[in-house]
Structure 1
Amino acid sequence: MESSTPQPRPHTDATSWVTRGTPAYQHATLALFLLGFASFSLIYCVQPLLPEFTTSFAISPANSALALSLTTGFLAFSIVLSGAFSQGLARKHLMFGSMLIAALLNIACAFISNWPLLLSIRAIEGFVLGGVPAIAMAWIAEEIHPADLSKSMGVYIAGTAFGGMIGRVGMGLVVEHFSWHVAMAALGGLCVLAALGFMYLLPASKHFRPQRGSPLQFHLHAWRQHLANPRLLNLYAFAFLIMSVFVTTFNYVTFRLSQSPFDLSPTQISLIFLCYSLGIMSSSLAGNFSQRLGSKTAVLISLALMLFGLITTLSNQLLWIVVGIALMTFGFFVAHALASSYVGLEAKSTKAHATSLYLLFYYLGSSVTGSAGGWFWQHGGWSAVIALCGTATLVAILLIQKRR
């Protein structure tokens, strides 16, 4: 039972919090930015390479999408395990180790020319990276002053957006002049440096004490407790839906733009991922939107932007497709940043378990729907992909409307 393993008690001294305006806060935000950058660039670096994989390995679009879907699928379940094991391990060292090993695995991918082996390495990489997202969100919830929580979470999400953008755009630029092998190795080396910078900058935890040998019943009870909370369950379903929309859209827009009438090159296609710069901005501003408009209204507006953006991409004009992707991206990062911060506020205890469940559903959306979208693309084209994503967005809107 939960009572058999006492929870760590936070310090009551107000000075123990990491607060905005202090050197510790500046170091923490930069470290979290590097963490988000490295982890998400490693996860999503293969997305602009999917058309390259279909040619290099003579596989279908749905099969090539497994290079991402397996990574996020293994990541999803690893997050739940790491959320539990992190109760007995130093958070900072766990995140650092995950970043470093994943970066080295990405370098290893550069020397692989066998598709099943590449998928195996990508699956392991996803499993290893499970030590990052849930622990990062738990660290923020435990160490950052509650008044600065939304802003700090936004900075971390901005780092993930930057990583996603640089990983995708950079891969497209490098593969245009060299090969996808060189691109994978270069990104892995850059993320090794990011991991070292993170280790140096992140302040030590003050509100967390490792719990050695927590019984399995403790973790099961914690997960059941959060899954029995209707407000958290609402957020978990919401995470599944919005990530389904986001990843599926970006997965298959690369195929659409590589075909007639657009016939864009890998470099030209990768430039569409510059829309992630809007994610960097919108996630950082999400807290301000919530304070001014109210949390529910802010999320509903962000979902409306996502839906309008999806519809706009149905145009056959390249400019309007880019505008639609930009609107969808802006809305997604606002919704994700706000929902992420709400999990930490809704969970009254075992926050790492709560955030790990949120991210489990989040990445299952990426893995399941991101892969299933290949069937829609192959049998119905872009309009079928948008029908799938639009339906998921409408369901997400209904979930938010039910929240009090």
Structure 2
Amino acid sequence: MDSAVITLLVLATVAFLFVTEYIPIAVSALMASVSLGLLGILTPQECFSGFSNSNVILFGGMFVVGAAMLDSGLAQSIGNFVVRNVGTNQGPLILSLMTLTIVMSAFASNTGTVACLMPMVIGVCVSAKIPSAPILMALAVSANVGCMLTMVGTPPNMLAVAEITANGYESYGFFEFSYIGLPICLSAVAFMYFVGRRILPQKSADGGIIMQSKGVVGSRRQRILAVCILIFVILGLIVGIPGLSPAMVSLIAALLCVVTGCISEKQAYKGIDWVTIFLFAGMLPVATAMQKTGAGELIANTVVSVVGEHPSDISIIAALFLISCSLTQFMPNTATAALLIPIAMSIANKLGVSPYGVLITCAIGASCSFATPIATPCNTLILSPSGMHFKDYLKVGLPLIVISLILCMLIIPVAWPFIKI
């Protein structure tokens, strides 16, 4: 059997297991990578390459920092401050949080933004005694859409810029992505405020986290240390520190938490969400197999061929968006964009149309990572603390994808006309 077909069968199987949760999702993810190794699709080194991925290191470090914020009482103090100024009503909290997150993720890593804000959000929910699941989902959604606003907001946008300039065209403007990104952001905020928060389970933060935050007051010294470490993390993840990658910043911060006595070694180990670590590390090799075997390209070419030789602008947008968006639910958005954007350029050249709208469609589709907990690190980070399941992501993700698709079909042909060249 062809290696691409085998990879697609493994992907379909793991997708089924994710949806049904007959097997814990972290175990399913690890089974997928190991299966691809046993079937000869991946080498042993590739099977376990996810554990050396920088995002996995970032996750681990930030879990320790989050535990330090909770155990020191810092997150609880911040939560009390926010509650005093915003109130305990879930609606205003969602609006204020999503606005802040969108602005931050437009210029910085959306993963870093969620990693920095998540412990504070849990503190807010504990202080206000409100369900954390809708608030945390709003955090992830706003981080995913906020990165669509600028050229540097997310790797898919940067890949589109690189592809367009490599083919001799003038680059996109820095805020040009906002033509489509801003309407999607506004729609996402409105959806979460009016609909999303009502259809999600009204669950509180993870029981272990709540017990830590309630049972441990922490000392003033610990809170001061936690603030200093948090400032270092914000500078490193949001602003950037020369010579230090986000993963290095996260790891250094975690080490400082233990070395300075802000948190004990035992508390640091307990603070790490190992389900998230194994889930993400297990799925990264599957993305490698998708690229290596051509399975992703097979999907793309098959779906694009359906639109025919003389498709309308809307047909092209719908086809490319659906391909890109479907793949990004199970592959990192960077991998999805890297796979599809060159194909999109080839399609534009074959049809003889301007490539700007074609590439934008792929980039935006790759960033619409709403429907699964492994679609983006932002989604994965909130999985365990929120207590949500795979189906909860579908409840919010599928409507947001439909809204984004409609907006793309309405706006992209106007902002970037598919003129013949």
Q: TM-score, normalising length from structure 2?
A: 0.28
Q: Look at both structures and tell me which one has the larger radius of gyration over its CA atoms.
A: 2
Q: TM-score, normalising length from structure 1?
A: 0.29
